[in-house]
Amino acid sequence: MVRGTALITSERPALPVPHQLAEVLPDGLRRGGTTAVLGSTSLVLTLLAHACAGGAWAAVVGQPTVGLLAASQAGVALDRLALVPRPGADAALVLAALVDGLDVVVVGPDVALGEADRRRLSARARERGAVLMPTVAWPGASAVLTVEQARWTGVGTGDGRLRTHSLRVARTGRGSAAVPHVVEVTLPLGSSAPEQVPVEGSAEPAVEPALRLVG
């Protein structure tokens, strides 16, 4: 029965990614796979925004630096996002439960896992058809996106706002990702990024009441 379930979930379509990342993730975010994203929270949020725009549900675990304002500005659908900033000693159990029910689970640096825990979570993701997205080194990851250089633009001499974030992203990994490849991307990623609707008369975006903040 478990084997049959794994076959069904693995046949579900991959989750979409921005067109500028298609060179390094030609198959999108493959269900059942582990895609590590190292060195840029902005890139993590951009990937989550496109996955959620396609109907996915996501969670960010053990990464307390990810805030609601940043997620909203990146285009993440807050009503499809769960935050668990500090999962504590039961991190492995928390992650396993989220992998069972959600499409994308980000695993941050504040999650204490052993090698056996990582192997079990990767196997569980394969079985359930979920995407694991660690932001720390993860042995056995199918694809690893590493930000080698980053540059912000938009700020003048003491004035202006940050407008874009240019990244040099290198991909390594296994299988189809075994051949190293490098792309230059700019965040926000043009018209392919999910559009944000401003709230009139408010300096901050509205937070959906369905948002789940745990821990």
Instruction: Read off the pTM.
Output: 0.79
pLDDT 10s digits, 39-68 = 999 999 999 999 999 999 999 999 998 988
| Number of CB atoms found within 10 A of residue 209's CB | 7
Asked if residue 114 has pLDDT above 60, the reply is yes
CA distance 45 to 108: 13
Asked if residue 177 has pLDDT above 90, the reply is no
- Single-letter residue type at 88: G
Domains of the chain are: 2-205 (3.40.50.300)
Contact in structure between 195 and 75 (CB atoms under 8 Å): yes
Crossing angle (nearest 10°) for helices 115-128 and 91-101: 10
Average pLDDT estimate for 117-146: 96
DSSP-derived 3-state class of residue 13: coil
pLDDT > 70: percent of the chain: 76
CA dihedral 62, 55, 147, 164 (to 10 degrees): -110
